[in-house]
Amino acid sequence: MAEEHNKNSVRPVAEKGEHIIARHLIDDDAIKEEKNLVIDGVDVSGRWNTFIETRVDSEYDRSFFDEIQKTVVGSRINRCWQCGMCTASCTVTPLYRRFNPRSFIYMMQLGNLKQLKKYVDVAWRCVGCYKCSQRCPKQVNPAEMMEALALLIKKYFPEEIKSKHQLTIDEEVKKIYEGMILGHGRLDLANLHTSAMRKMGKTSELLSDKDERGAIFKMMKDGRALSVLRLGKPHKWHKSKDAIDKYLQNTGTLEQESQV
């Protein structure tokens, strides 16, 4: 940036809130800039004109907190003391600055759905590397808290999932996994891949053999793509399937509500 300034020798118009340290942690609409501001008779326009909206939330919803605590993945939400070790060790945060596990857990603790809704588009990006859970000093297990967050999103923002392309894809892929794992007891990876590609509208990529070293072409050739024939199905899996369905229909928790 500094070099650019020298080149043009004119300072560009200031970006909104650009003097704020860790600007990326604060929402645009939480920043208030006053053009001409006088406080107690002192003109404070200029550098001192930027304010961050107060975030005091006195109407938080405890029932929401209980809802999360009852799930297997969110059972330790009460332990979090907001130290931020999870965000500091996160694999995803450096790639997507708005992905902030500490902040997500805070919003979940407060039941701040309004705020959570703004992050639905990145909240699904956890890669499950468990660095946060490894380093969390309170064993909150933030990695699984992100799974609890996904459950909340499914319950409270179904329309967001439908309207945002990447979320729809994520949801569709999860359904393919679920259908195979619970339906058949085993996962046919080649089929998973091709079904997912089809859902994403990438069928043409599947058929192209321009890259002879391409994985799909190779696996077709050596037979691994047809591996479902070798995989089979566990004996009397339908009994497991029925037992699982019965359990999921009776938990009375978020896990049940998020069933399709």
> What residues from 191 to 230 belong to the interface with other proteins (CB under 8 A)?
192-193, 196, 200, 211, 213-215, 218-219, 222, 224, 227-228, 230
Please pick, from the candidates 104, 150, 157, 161, the single residue that binds other proteins as defined by CB under 8 A.
Answer: 150
- Contact region for other proteins (CB under 8 A) — 7-15, 41-49, 113-121, 180-188? 180-188
Please give the sequence-ordered ranges of beta strands (E in DSSP) within 130-193, or none if there are none: none
Does 15 help bind other proteins (rule: CB under 8 A)? no
Does 190 help bind other proteins (rule: CB under 8 A)? yes
In the complex, what is the shortest distance from the CB of residue 113 to other proteins, in angstroms, rounded to a whole number?
A: 18
Dihedral sign computed on CA atoms, order 53, 56, 59, 64? positive
Largest CA distance in the chain: 82
Please work out the total of residues on this chain that contact other proteins, with binding judged by CB under 8 A. Answer: 71
Dihedral angle, C-alpha 6, 7, 8, 12, nearest 10 °: -50
Number of neighbours of residue 219 by Cβ within 10 angstroms:
16
In the complex, what is the shortest distance from the CB of residue 21 to other proteins, in angstroms, rounded to a whole number?
A: 27
* Residue (of 185, 203, 183) closest to 193 by Cα position: 203
Residue 46: phi and psi, rounded to 5, are 100, -135
In the complex, what is the shortest distance from the CB of residue 131 to other proteins, in angstroms, rounded to a whole number?
A: 7
Which distant-in-sequence residues (6+ apart) come within 8 Å of 74 by Cβ? Answer: 68, 108, 144, 145, 147, 148, 151, 254
User: Which lies closer to other proteins via its Cβ, residue 109 or residue 253?
Assistant: 253
Does 20 help bind other proteins (rule: CB under 8 A)? no
Does 69 help bind other proteins (rule: CB under 8 A)? no
Considering only residues 86 through 145, tell me which ones interact with other proteins, judged by CB under 8 A.
91-92, 95, 125-131, 133-134, 139, 141, 143-144
Write out the two tokens for 135: 């380093």
